[in-house]
Every structure is written in C-alpha cells, then in structure tokens.
Amino acid sequence: MDPTLYNSVMRGNIRDANFLLADHLKRDEENGYQITPKGNTALHVAALYGHSHFAAEVLKITPAMLCCQNKKNETALHIAANEGHTEVVGVLLACIEGHNTKEKLTRMTDASGDTALHKAVRSQHRG
C-alpha cells in the first residue's frame, strides 16, 4: 500500500488522502486493491483505528471492498467488532442495509472460524 495512503487512513485524515482515494481505491484489474503486507485494505485500516468517517468515504468509492478479506480472512467488520469501534460497525452495516451482502458479510468467518459477532463477544464489546 502506498505509504501516503496508509498514513492518511491511519490518522483518519481525509484531506491528505482525497487525491489518493479516487486514484488508489479503484480496483486495479491486474493488482487488485492496494494492501498492506498483512493483506489489509484501506477499509481494514480505517476499521482498526476507528475512523468511521474515513470508512464511509472509502465505501462511497468502492463498496465492494466491504467483503475483502485480509490474510487472516478478516473483513473490516471483523476488525471493527474486535476493536469495539461501534461507529465503524454501524457505517459498515449501513452500507449494505437491504442488500443480499448483509447476510453474507455477517456470516463470513475468519481463519479461526469466527464471525464478527464472535469477535465482538470475545472482546467483550456490547456497543
């Protein structure tokens, strides 16, 4: 992942990344989405750091990123639930409200066989 994009997502600074979001979040047919060495997309990173506003912007540009899994088979929803970032969870679920994707996303399991709900419960998040 481009370091400027990663740092902007990590800080939740959309202004630094606006010029990057449109360019870097569009799926590149040859290379896929930009990812970190652990396979995290910009949406995973926004979920990890609790930046719901950044997650919403990412999803406006690339809603398909919602179902992307990292090297541990975690979606951004798994990460947000595990970290207790309820605002991010809300943004992610609102993006798919009324679509077939909601059932798919909420039932996706990571490499340990956990859904996002399992992650939230194990981390004792009740938000």
**DSSP letters for the chain:** --HHHHHHHHHT-HHHHHHHHHHHHSPBTTTBS---TT---HHHHHHHHT-HHHHHHHHHH-GGGGG---TT---HHHHHHHHT-HHHHHHHHHHTTTSTHHHHHHH---TTS--HHHHHHHTT---
**Which pLDDT score, from 0 to 100, does residue 103 have?**
80
The answer to whether the CB of 115 falls within 8 A of the CB of 123 is no
For the chain, percent of residues with pLDDT exceeding 70: 83
**Which pLDDT score, from 0 to 100, does residue 110 have?**
96
Q: What is the dihedral of CA 85, 8, 24, 43, to 10 degrees?
A: -10
Fill in the amino acid letter for 92: L
CATH 1.25.40.20 correct for 3-122: yes
Q: Which are the contacts of 118, defined by CB distance < 8 A and separation ≥ 6? A: none
The pTM for the full model equals 0.88
**Which pLDDT score, from 0 to 100, does residue 86 have?**
94
Q: For the chain, 127 residues long, give each residue's pLDDT as a single digit of tens.
A: 888 889 888 998 877 655 567 776 765 555 678 899 999 999 999 999 999 999 999 998 888 889 999 999 999 999 999 999 999 999 999 988 756 677 888 899 999 999 999 998 888 866 5
**Which pLDDT score, from 0 to 100, does residue 15 have?**
73
**Which pLDDT score, from 0 to 100, does residue 124 have?**
80
Sign of CA dihedral 39, 26, 78, 56: positive
**Which pLDDT score, from 0 to 100, does residue 109 have?**
95
Domains of the chain, by residue range, sit at 3-122
**Which pLDDT score, from 0 to 100, does residue 64 have?**
84
